[in-house]
Structure 1
Amino acid sequence: MLTPQSTDQTGDGVQPQSHDDLESPQQRPRMIPVPKLQLLSVCVSRVAEPIAYSQIFPYVNQMILKLGVTDDPKRVGYYSGTLESMFALAQVLTVYGYGRLSDRIGRKPVILFSVFAMALSSGLFGLSHSFAHMAVARTFVGLLSGYTSVIQSILGEITDGTNQALAVAYSAYALCYPIGTFIGWAEHLMLPQLLTQIGIDL
């Protein structure tokens, strides 16, 4: 007795196969785990930039008054805003150059140099005795912080589309900026109080 054919059979009596059925296990992409150590290193270096950017916010107004840059409290915001803008402007000017340089000499040397030089320039800002000195130091910090474009290139190189590594990497990367901003604010809000308690008057 002939049985009726299924409606999803072809005219030759052969049931069509899906693409997943035709794909052998050897052809399927291998699941690659997230490179945790490399991702951690990238995130730590990323945190340094927002720390350098935001760490002057709690004290820059007081520093301008203390150095005698202006005697008018209403002008303090103008000078502090100028200093804060110099960082962002200088950073924009160097982003492309850092990317080209990292293609020639490698990602790691560029990031290591930038992070340590940026930390040194931030320290020089704290030792400033004039507005010109503050402006130069702040500009150098911005010039040295353009390495963030290199970090984004690294994220693309250590991840792929075979699993959720890309999503995990960029999720962790997105958290670095707010974490660094919080640390930058917190260290200069709490450090003076801590030094005062141990007898060091700033």
Structure 2
Amino acid sequence: MAAGERNESSAAVAAPLLAAARERKLCKEGCPGCRLDEINKSKTGIPYLNFFYVWVVCLCAALPIQSLFPYLYFMIRDLEVAKQEQDIGFYAGFVGAAYFLGRTISAVPWGIFADKYGRKPCIVISILSVIVFNTLFGLSTTYWMAIVTRGLLGLLCGILGPIKAYASEVCRKEHQALGISLVTSSRAIALVIGPAIGGFLAQPTKKYPNLFSEESIFGRFPYFLPCFVISVLAAGACLACIWLPETLHKYHDDKVEAIEEMEAQVADSTSEDRKAKQSGSGRMASTKNLLKNWQLMSAITLYCVFSLHDTAYLEIFSLWAVSSRKYRGLSFTSQEVGTVLAISGFGVLVYQLLIYPLLAKYAGLVKPFRSAAVLSILLLATYPFMANLYGVELKVLINIASLLKNMFAATITIACNILQNTAVGQEQRGVANGISVTLMSIFKAVAPAAAGILFSWAQKNITGLFIPGDQILFWMLNMVSVIGLSLTFKPFFSMPSALK
């Protein structure tokens, strides 16, 4: 009884001190997060400059992914690893998967790093990895060198999770949708610039013989120029990181730390398990709690399923567009593929900046999400029949179809990102996005490899089955969308409380 009374007395004494500490934490001198919060309180407008820095950094991190697809088919062919033409897709899939496999391994550690040391150091290290390993990928002379450099790029470019948390923290709550949209729109503009860089700058000695000779470095390494250009842009983005404000709250006050220790000791008097938390298992417990957060996990599940679909689609579309007519492809050049993807990216950028914020404001997140999934399924069902078209008719229709497909994908992706970041508090967003990126990267690592294998199988089975192999190819893509659509309904889906 006496011990219990002492504990209650200690708790009563500690309570006002703890409350005072929390009040001080609302605005702590020297804390970069508090400083930014005060700026956001005094300025109700959109932080255009901070959003611009976020956009530039995201763009440079996304360019190595988007620029690869227009020339990947030709790169695998020139590396002479495929024994026959139908096997090119098989080997191309593993190069695409290497990046996402590396990101799978490092996503949660990068999230923990961002929660402990700040978002800004994570962003800087990620951009530096783009500069180094993207350049080395362009200098690849063997298939295995290409896979290793792409894998290391994914391993060390841990920007995706932290930048989502950053975009939602660098602004006021009413601008969070725009901030998250900018992260996605940077990928949309990467869909404009990336394929254009990859499609028009790969193999420059063949396309621009008056500018580049066969004896130059660009003749010896025909896929180095697009990688070099992206690395130069990333170097500029790395300089822009100097002006990025830190959003993580950091406290280094001895009195506040003493009060926090008192709070832990008071709580520990009733449970021995808290001692484990003091010794360093707090983050593990936090991660376990996040895994039990069904609002977060249902949003992550949707994100993973549609990430699998979108990555497989991009891989299949790029391979299908450049493959021969005898395999029911479109026989496009790398420039033509780059042009189609660039036009789609520009249209999606306009959609994300001007149309989607209004759509989300008046229709919410879930209704446009479901509508986009249904329309995407109907659209993909028409793709195999485009192989029967030629000339201007083909180019017009494939550009319209690609634009619509990417708009539907953007609608789903933005909604998933908002759902994830509103399901948790700021102190858990780095880890939550790390979990999201890890699981999503597993799906994205599987997607290119599976898509490449399926594409290779479809080319070998154009005839002889009850339906042509190319129709089965797109039918399999649609099955993934059907699964994702079904997960947007109860009991699988749970809307975050903040959005109800």
TM-score by length of 2: 0.33
- Give the alignment partner of residue 63 of structure 2, picking from 36, 51, 54: 51
How many matched pairs?
172
Match of 1:199 among 178, 201, 212: 212
Instruction: Give the structure 1 partner of residue 237 of structure 2.
Output: none
> What corresponds to 1:13 in structure 2?
none
Match among 185, 188, 192 for residue 195 of structure 2 = 185
| Residues 52, 119 of structure 1: 8 Å contact kept | no
Give yes or no for contact 1:118–1:140 (8 Å, CA) kept in 2: no
Match of 1:135 among 147, 154, 158: 147
d(CA) in 2 for partners of 1:174, 1:134: 27
Amino acid at match of 1:112: V
Question: Equivalent residue for 2:106?
Answer: 94
Mapped to 1, the partners of 2:178 and 2:90 lie a distance apart of: 41
Q: CA deviation at 1:194?
A: 6.5
Determine the C-alpha separation between the residues in 1 that align with 2:80 and 2:207.
Answer: 26
1:173 corresponds to which residue? 183
CA distance in 1, matches of 2:85, 2:166: 45
Comparing 146-155 with 165-174, which one deviates more in the overlay?
Answer: 165-174
Task: Give the 4+ runs in structure 1 shifted more than 6 A.
Answer: none
Q: Decide whether the 8 Å contact of 1:121 with 1:137 is kept in 2.
A: yes
2:121 is aligned with 1:113: no
The structure-2 alpha-carbon separation of the partners of 1:35 and 1:66, relative to structure 1 and needing over 3 Å to count, comes to: same
The CA RMSD over aligned residues, in Å, is: 2.0
- What is the CA distance between 1:146 and its match in structure 2? 2.6
How big is the shift at 1:133?
Answer: 0.7
Shift of 1:144: 2.4
Superimposed CA distance per residue, residues 25-62 of structure 1 (whole angstroms, 9 cap, x where no aligned partner): xxxx8662222211111111111232111222122222
What amino acid maps onto 1:176 in structure 2? Answer: S
Query: Quick check: 1:60 aligned with 2:72?
Result: yes
2:222 corresponds to: none
Q: Which residue of 2 aligns with 1:124?
A: 136
Residue in 2 aligned with 1:150? Answer: 162
CA 1:199–1:125 in 2, change beyond 3 Å: closer, same or farther?
A: closer
Amino acid at match of 2:47: P
The equivalent residue for 2:46 is 34
- What SS class does the counterpart of residue 115 from structure 2 fall into? helix
- Letter of the 1:123 counterpart: T
Instruction: Give the structure, 1 or 2, with the largest relative contact order (CA under 8 Å, sep 6 or more).
Output: 1
Looking at structure 2, the residues matched to 106 and 194 of structure 1 have their Cα atoms a distance apart, in angstroms, of: 45
Tell me whether 192-201 or 39-48 shows the greater mean CA deviation. 192-201
Q: Which digits, 9 at most, give the CA deviation of each residue in 1:97-120, with x for residues without a partner?
A: 111112222211211111121232
Q: Greater helix percent: which structure?
A: 2
Pairing 1:75-90 to 2, within 5 Å after superposition: 75-90=87-102
**Structure 1 unaligned spans of 5+:** 1-28
Q: Is the 8 A contact 1:89 1:142 kept in 2?
A: yes
Bigger drift between 148-157 and 56-65 goes to: 56-65
- Among the aligned pairs, what percent are the same residue? 26
- Structure number with greater Rg is 1
Matched residue type, 2:71:
Y
Paired letter, 1:98: W
Contact in 1 for aligned 2:123/2:158 (Cα 8 Å): no
Partner residue in 1 for 2:306: none
1:22 corresponding residue in structure 2: none
Q: 1:102 to 1:195 in 2, by over 3 A?
A: farther
- Paired residue for 1:71, among 76, 83, 88? 83
Contact 2:168 2:179 in 1 (8 A): no
Question: SS where residue 146 of structure 1 aligns?
Answer: coil
Judging changes above 3 Å, is the alpha-carbon distance between structure 1 residues 197 and 178 closer, same or farther for their aligned structure 2 residues?
farther
**Residue 196 of structure 1 aligns to a residue in which SS?**
coil
* Length-normalised TM-score, structure 1: 0.76
SS in 1 for 2:81: coil
Amino acid at match of 2:74: Q
User: In structure 1, how many angstroms separate the alpha carbons of the residues matched to 2:182 and 2:64?
Assistant: 20
Give the 3 Å change call, closer, same or farther, for CA 140–195 of structure 1 in structure 2.
Answer: farther
